[in-house]
Amino acid sequence: MNRLAALVVLAGLLIGALVGFAVPTLNGPAYRSGATIVFTAAQLGPGPPTASVARHISQRVPSWAKVAASGAVADEAGLHSDETITAHEISGAQSLRIELNSFTDEGLADRATAAARTVIAVVTRMEFNRVSGVVSTSGSEPESLSGAWAVWGAVLGAVIGAVAGWLGCALRRPGPWVSRLAGGGSRIAGAQAFADSVDHEIRALWMGLRTRRGLTAVALGFVAVGGYAATGSVWPPMLAVLAAGVVAPRDPRWIAGAMLGLAASVLPPKLELVKIGPVTPTVLEVAVLIGLVAVWRRPGKSIFFWPLVVFTAAVALGSAHGVVNGGEFSEVADTVRALVLVPLGFLVLCRVFAGRLAQFVAIVAVGAAVASSVELLAAVMDWERLLVDERSSVITGDDTSEVSRLSAPVLPLWGPLLILLASGAFPGRPRWRLLLIALPGLAHEALSFNRSTWAPLLGFVIVVAVARFGSRGLVKRLLAAGLLGAVALGLAAAGALGGTGEALAGRVTSVFSGEALGEDSLADRVRENTAALNTLLDHPVTGIGVGIPYGGEIISYDAVHDRTVVDPRPWIHNQYLRMWLWFGAFGLLAVGLLMVRVAAAVVHSWRRRAPATVLVVALGLGLACLALQSVFQTTLIDRPSLMVVALLLAMLALAVGWQPRVEEFGQVGEPPLSARRIMTP
């Protein structure tokens, strides 16, 4: 079977490579023409330009190269939507090589010359006529780029084909890992049994607040959050971590709670301690290290072991590639420390809560509700230290609203958590308790103003609702929700809910009106993707490595020196392009294999009628929600998002093997659901 799987994956790889090689040529060939610009200092006074002015030009040419590739030049030059400009400095010559890329070669040399003149005009204005430029070499004869795009497509096609082949094998004939999945139960009865278990754990948490252990846990949380809010020092959270570490050998749930509190709460994710060489450890990393020591001897091997090993290998190779290519070591080290939170955090959480899945879910849900409530209170009371990454304005179309835009490390958790709350695997009674948990998250999501988060979240919640309530039940609830939403949106747009409500209404309506498509933020992300793709054309297999600029730019104005500054952009919103840039095709393949294992676990749990099928499906959709958000959000370098991925993978690894206790399962009767609905017994 292993040989057959290898042949299927190899066949998928080859077919994907062939298709990918052919697709870029369907729209015809691509061409490039280049021109050269030479800059000199302008004669502003009676004397000749000084040496300092000449040095100014040499120092500014790298920034002008990024200006040439910016949207300002593209708009003024009147480029077509499928045309882009790239620029490279000619070292020691105070010159730029301008290249115009297009799908047609007709008049391309003349248009490249015109684009070079536009670059001169833009740079001259930016430097207040202190420099001048001349096109020393006009546009060259068009050069075909079809070969480079074909190789790029072949690499991407090979990755997609290999992942598709692996998915087919995992669904048709899975490996030994499938033996870890439970089966032979009732989906709905199992969901009810799990919900009852979570209900029991939530009640136990409430009762535990009256015990010495409960009061100690609350006190440690108050010291960590309150101490940081009052002093801004990392030592109150560190004190709480050390206290949890003392008792972790006996009960590692203490240190797991500290990890969750540091990664998905209101505390900054990078509470840095003492600098050790080029690295400055964080409190979260100390907590993870203590957690590893506490659980290292505990047995347990999950269904995600090998996919996470492959992912870790891809991170190591991409980081080594970056260091060899001249990437800054401190940046590479910081990136590696962030990414390894996924496998290490997964290992700790999975072993700590083995056999305690319901308690795990209860702690996460209640903790997230408390954290978002504290964040909302901090926004009202203006506790600045707890308003992590808060922004004071929201730009929608041409309108700028001066309102608070909340973030906080707990925010990435709410998308998957709301899907779980709607799935039926979480207790829905009493209603007031469910609302008490869900409303802080809904308010937090709304006040984040993140449209790229709302869309996939809403879609997956609807999918879960269809599975749970059936089509008729869904229509009734959608009509009620739509009517309530329309009334609230109308009141907000009219200003009845204040400036924040008005800004929120404008944010929502911009999605349906198409106004969002014309915003600068979308054009900015398109320029990011264009720069990344141009870089990947030269490095489609290996990428460029971690810590190497990919070509994106940040343009700002330096009022002190009276000049425009263009710096390399350290981030990119499309995380799949970032993975390709950092880890090469192997990194894409590693992430694809992890996604395949998640999808296969969901499908096989459904086929085997695992008792926790509903929970498994909800967690799979939560991970899919994060995967879609990764097209629009900078989540790959975001520690809270990485810890949420580790948390969801740990829950999923435990859920596929969950079995209700006999006494719980026996008390669950046949659920009053229509047999026509999807999740039937």
Phi, psi of 44 (to 5 degrees): -95, -25
Query: What is the pTM (predicted TM-score) of this model?
Result: 0.85
Q: Would you state the pLDDT for residue 219? A: 94
- CA Rg value for the chain: 28
Q: Rounded distance, CA 627 to CA 440, Å? A: 24
The mean per-residue pLDDT over the stretch 527-544 comes to: 89
The mean per-residue pLDDT over the stretch 380-405 comes to: 80
The answer to whether 405 and 389 are in contact (CB under 8 A) is no
Q: Rounded distance, CA 71 to CA 342, Å? A: 36
Q: Rounded distance, CA 241 to CA 296, Å? A: 18
Burial per residue of 340-367, b for 16 or more beta-carbon CB atoms within 10 angstroms, e otherwise:
bbbbbbbbbbbbbbbeebbbbbbbbbbb
Q: DSSP alpha helices (H): ranges in 138-186? A: 146-172
Q: Give the torsion sign (CA, 214, 216, 222, 228).
A: negative
Residue with tokens 């700790």: 348
Q: Rounded distance, CA 325 to CA 545, Å? A: 7
CB count within 10 Å of CB 670 equals: 10
Q: CA 419, 422, 424, 428: dihedral to nearest 10 degrees?
A: 130
Antiparallel, parallel or unpaired: β 95-102 and 84-90:
antiparallel
> 672 falls in which pLDDT band (50, 70, 90)?
very low
Q: Rounded distance, CA 665 to CA 659, Å? A: 9
> 32 falls in which pLDDT band (50, 70, 90)?
confident
pLDDT score of 681 more than 50:
no
Query: Which DSSP symbol is given to 25?
Result: G
Query: Which DSSP symbol is given to 100?
Result: E
Q: Rounded distance, CA 539 to CA 266, Å? A: 40
pLDDT digits (tens, 9 = 90+) for 333-352: 999 999 999 999 999 999 99
Q: Rounded distance, CA 553 to CA 531, Å? A: 9
pLDDT score of 51 more than 50:
no
Can you give the length of the chain in residues?
Answer: 681
Q: Rounded distance, CA 643 to CA 260, Å? A: 8
Phi, psi of 633 (to 5 degrees): -125, 155
The long-range contacts involving 294-298, CB below 8 angstroms and separated by at least 24 positions, are: 294/245, 294/248, 294/249, 294/252, 294/255, 294/348, 294/352, 295/252, 295/347, 295/348, 295/351, 295/352, 298/351, 298/354
Q: Give the torsion sign (CA, 139, 141, 143, 144).
A: positive
Q: Rounded distance, CA 109 to CA 138, Å? A: 7
Task: Give me the half-sphere count of Cα atoms (radius 13 Å) on the Cβ side of residue 604.
Answer: 28
Residue closest to 419 by CA, chosen among 277, 617, 564: 617
pLDDT score of 245 more than 50:
yes
> 618 falls in which pLDDT band (50, 70, 90)?
very high
The mean per-residue pLDDT over the stretch 51-64 comes to: 68
pLDDT digits (tens, 9 = 90+) for 10-31: 999 999 999 999 988 777 778 8
pLDDT digits (tens, 9 = 90+) for 576-611: 999 999 999 999 999 999 999 999 999 999 999 899
> 495 falls in which pLDDT band (50, 70, 90)?
low
> 470 falls in which pLDDT band (50, 70, 90)?
low
The answer to whether 521 and 302 are in contact (CB under 8 A) is no
Phi, psi of 556 (to 5 degrees): -140, 170
Instruction: Tell me the sheet residues that pair with 272.
Output: 282
Q: Give the torsion sign (CA, 186, 188, 194, 196).
A: negative
Query: Which DSSP symbol is given to 679?
Result: S
33: helix, strand or coil: strand
Residue closest to 362 by CA, chosen among 223, 194, 511: 194
Q: Rounded distance, CA 104 to CA 613, Å? A: 53
Distances (CA, A) of 104 to 36, 40, 101: 21, 33, 9
Q: Rounded distance, CA 143 to CA 296, Å? A: 58
pLDDT score of 526 more than 80:
no
Residue closest to 404 by CA, chosen among 461, 358, 464, 448: 448
Q: 179-193, 413-427, 514-528: which range is least confident on average?
A: 514-528
E strand or H helix that includes residue 384: none
Q: Would you state the pLDDT for residue 13? A: 93
pLDDT score of 514 more than 60:
yes
Distances (CA, A) of 34 to 58, 102, 116, 139, 275: 21, 12, 9, 5, 47
3-state helix, strand, coil in the chain (%, to 5): 65, 10, 30
Report the greatest alpha carbon distance in the chain. 97
End-to-end distance of the chain based on CA atoms, in angstroms? 33
Phi, psi of 385 (to 5 degrees): -65, -25
The answer to whether 408 and 266 are in contact (CB under 8 A) is yes
In whole numbers, what is the pLDDT of the chain averaged over residues?
A: 84
SS (H, E, C) 74-87: HHHHCCCCCCEEEE
Q: Which two tokens stand for residue 27?
A: 């729209």
Domains of the chain: 31-144 (3.30.70.1130), 184-681 (no CATH)
The answer to whether 632 and 452 are in contact (CB under 8 A) is yes
389: helix, strand or coil: coil
Residue with tokens 């609230």: 488
The mean per-residue pLDDT over the stretch 568-581 comes to: 89
- Which is higher by pLDDT, 635 or 356? 356
Residue closest to 443 by CA, chosen among 530, 361, 379, 382: 379
Q: Would you state the pLDDT for residue 675? A: 35
